[in-house]
Amino acid sequence: MSKTKNQKKLIIVESPTKSKTISHFLGDEFLIESSYGHIRNLPKSNKKAIDIKAGFIPHYEITKGKEDVVSKIKSLAKNASEVLLATDPDREGESIAWHLKETCGLKNPKRIVFHEITENAIKEAINHPREIDENLRQAQEARRVLDRLVGYDLSGLIWKKVRYGLSAGRVQSPALRIIMEREREIRAFIPENYWVLTGEFETDPHSAKGSDVASKKDKIILTCDKEPADEKETNRILEAGRANPWHIAEIKQTEAKRSPRAPFTTSTLQQTASSRLGFSPSRTMMVAQKLYEQGLITYMRTDSVIISKEALPVIHQEIEKTFGKKYLEPRIYKTKSKSAQEAHEAIRPTNIGLKNAGANEEQERLYGLIWARTISSQMTDAKMLRTKVSANINKEGIIPNFSVVGSITVFPGWLAADTEAQGEEVQIPKLSKDEKLELLNLESQGKQTEPPGRYTEAGLVKELEKREIGRPSTYAYIIKTINDRGYVTKDGKTLHPTDTGEVVSDFLENNFPKYISDSFTAEMENELDEIAEGKIKYEKVLKDFYGPFSKDVKSKDKIDKVTNLGDADEKFKCPVCNGPMVIKLSKTGKFLSCAKFPECVGARKADGSIMEGPKETGEMCPECLTGKLVEREGRFGKFIFCSNYPKCKFIKRSAEEEAKAKTGVKCPKCEGEIVERRGRFGPFFSCSNYPKCKFIIKSRPTGKICDLCGSLMMQGTKTIPERCSNKLCPNHNPHKKPVA
């Protein structure tokens, strides 16, 4: 069919919010549609996902639920005069554009790229369309395929050798290793005792000469310059200090300056948002994505600290207008990262005159942070007067000086825009040399040296960037993955490795040190960059990696299963037979098991406290006929299992748990009763005659029958207390509008 003048140009983006923002800048000749993110993905089965022999060819399938989206785009493209793919300006965006072209059968679509959603940027991009960049697309595909191959092969081995359900990954495992390395440093640290001596003083306004003498009494706190070697020396200093008068021994003042920081990259935005706003990296990226889609900031996945030539004059004008000309100092920052190629500009507001923006409080706070960082990066240094005041007793050389260091802001410079960067400065009163001080209190506090601190999420992002593990778009995902897997827990702001995380990391470090090392991971990232630059071929990178890797994985298939994690402390004896114990891993973490298991089933908690032991029921196992049935407490209540476990894997609920599981509701398909069961995705309800009867519902049945379709009613949510178990029935979700 020939194109007519009335046909519109179709622009496809990933997000409905982005679609809505763009529509404000374009006329009626454009139609803007969203793909709602990725429309295709690799299937769950690894055998179907990648054809390794054919050259690592991935076989994609339409993401479940996206069939209607694909159908609609096909229909709109058929009647469009031109199709423009306006997905995000990075490798992932290039990949989504390619998938749209392939899946929807788009003929000769053009790719447009912009780093900010503003009228000028969008129209400029439309005037300069290009083809889909195959190098960028293949770099993203290589990352996806590599992660799948490594994840499946390593995870499969860990399932067999450690415990079912665990996982490993190409970049998540090096991140976990870094956390464990710090944890080992903390455990190996031997604290040393030391003493901190602090004196509280009051100034004497009549004791010194000159015009700079304080006009009123001021309090000042000073700390001993030299930490005492032992308690005896501490007491000597305290006695001398309390017995003698004090005076100002020395005042040193030096001029100093603080230079502004470079504009935000993805990494520095995540770090600063974590320390100042308490945002996790994933939360920061989610909020930043919304700001970008609303056209408020430039693209938020970038390694660059460069501000565009068009934006700099506007920023300079805003500084002169808001703070004055003396605060302006034009600066050019150079990007340090060798791999900075995802975007060509730092994160900044698109309209620098807009100081407050965002649809909610989270967006306002993050936008304010970005605005302050952008403005302050083009401002003058802050000028400070560093002051060190030292005091001592009148008997010279008897004890060390007591001092305090503070600073006075002479000229705020960039701190006028980024006020939170100033921090807490110690305020020092006006003092002069030889001025008398009145001692109010002199005390010592015994302390111990502390081990290095655990990583915060911001600290881990900084470390990953430093070691070139991952890229801007992956930092948040890496941290989220190790959290979701239960390999780390968050205590306040710090990341603590769990028992499971430690076992997985140890297994990988012992068996695959090469593949989770800094150098290997960074080298792989560089090779992905070279694919994006067209310097190396997709298939060569994957072949060079996967050949040796798959052989290494297969060679480890012969190693023994990691059932024991080592001998327990000798002081912890088996509570049943008084024999030695070993450390084992369960789904909830480490515990101590009798070394004679399964002959003896005695167990303790990881801290050595006695775990409620198994109780014999007096019955024989109905499966193996030789083992005794025993009852014990599990993570989901009491259960009964065979004493011959793991040779015999018979297991059932205890009578107490069976009673709790009963609902009293008859199965609508047979004479059974609906009972509660637990699967890998949580609790569900099914017939007691399973597997003969396979009736199943998601929530607890209420016993009532739906008046529309006759199905069982089940418990719902706060907004829908009761709903039909039939998903096709209108009573399943009464709030949902009926389909026309």
Q: Tell me the C-alpha distance between 260 and 275, whole Å.
A: 18
Residue 680's pLDDT band (boundaries 50, 70, 90)?
A: low
Mean pLDDT of 375-402: 93
Mean pLDDT of 28-43: 92
pLDDT of residue 739: 40
Instruction: Write out pLDDT tens, residues 53-83.
Output: 999 999 999 998 899 999 999 999 998 999 9
pLDDT of residue 422: 79
Mean pLDDT of 575-585: 90
Residue 277's pLDDT band (boundaries 50, 70, 90)?
A: very high
Higher pLDDT, 4 or 150: 150
Residue 212 pLDDT greater than 50, yes or no: no
Residue 342's pLDDT band (boundaries 50, 70, 90)?
A: very low
pLDDT of residue 618: 83
Cβ(588)–Cβ(597) under 8 Å? Answer: no
Cβ(685)–Cβ(701) under 8 Å? Answer: yes
Question: DSSP 3-state assignment of 411?
Answer: strand
Measured in whole angstroms, how far is the alpha carbon of residue 558 from the centre of its chain?
35
* Domain residue ranges in the chain: 9-132, 152-180+455-552, 195-259+382-447, 266-376, 581-657, 665-732
Matching residue, tokens 């209108």: 730
Report pTM.
0.75
Beta bridge mates, 12:
33, 85
Cβ(287)–Cβ(366) under 8 Å? Answer: yes
pLDDT, averaged across the chain:
88
The Cα angle at residue 378 between residues 375 and 380, in degrees rounded to 5: 110
Residue 211's pLDDT band (boundaries 50, 70, 90)?
A: very low
Residue 250's pLDDT band (boundaries 50, 70, 90)?
A: very high
Q: What tokens does 681 get? A: 């995705």
Contacts of 343 (CB under 8 A, 6+ apart): 89, 90, 115, 298, 299, 301, 302, 303, 304
Residue 426's pLDDT band (boundaries 50, 70, 90)?
A: confident
- Cβ-count burial 645-684 (b if 16+ within 10 Å, e if not): beebeeeebbeebeeebebebbbbeeebebbbeeeeeeee
Instruction: Write out pLDDT tens, residues 581-620.
Output: 999 887 777 889 899 887 887 888 888 887 766 678 888 9
Is 327 annotated in the active site?
A: no
Measured in whole angstroms, how far is the alpha carbon of residue 592 from the centre of its chain?
32
Which of 39-53, 125-139, 337-351, 535-549 shows the lowest mean pLDDT across its residues? 337-351
Mean pLDDT of 85-89: 93
Higher pLDDT, 387 or 407: 387
Instruction: Write out pLDDT tens, residues 118-161.
Output: 999 999 999 999 999 999 999 999 999 999 999 889 988 998 88
pLDDT of residue 338: 57
Q: Tell me the C-alpha distance between 646 and 682, whole Å.
A: 24
pLDDT of residue 3: 46
Q: In sequence order, which ranges of 277-336 are alpha helices (DSSP H)?
A: 281-293, 311-322
**In the CATH scheme, what architecture does the domain 195-259+382-447 have?**
Distorted Sandwich (2.70)
CATH of domain 9-132: 3.40.50.140
Residue 207's pLDDT band (boundaries 50, 70, 90)?
A: low
CATH of domain 266-376: 1.10.290.10
How does strand 9-13 pair with strand 82-85? parallel
- Active-site pick, 60, 164, 194, 299: 299
Q: Tell me the C-alpha distance between 224 and 226, whole Å.
A: 6
The DSSP code sequence of 22-74 is: HHTTS-TTEEEEE--S-SEE--S-HHHHEETTTTSEE--EEPTT-HHHHHHHH
pLDDT of residue 681: 66
Residue 396's pLDDT band (boundaries 50, 70, 90)?
A: confident
Residue 737 pLDDT greater than 50, yes or no: no
Residue 340 pLDDT greater than 70, yes or no: no
Give the whole-number percent of the chain exceeding pLDDT 90: 53
Mean pLDDT of 183-197: 93
Instruction: Write out pLDDT tens, residues 227-244.
Output: 887 889 999 999 999 999
| Assigned fold of 152-180+455-552 | Topoisomerase I; domain 2 (1.10.460)
pLDDT of residue 558: 85
pLDDT of residue 664: 87
pLDDT of residue 735: 64
pLDDT of residue 315: 96
Higher pLDDT, 718 or 391: 391
Q: Tell me the C-alpha distance between 498 and 176, whole Å.
A: 10
Residue 738 pLDDT greater than 80, yes or no: no
| Residue 129: CA count within 13 A, CB half-sphere | 15
Which of 52-61, 541-550, 684-693 shows the lowest mean pLDDT across its residues? 684-693
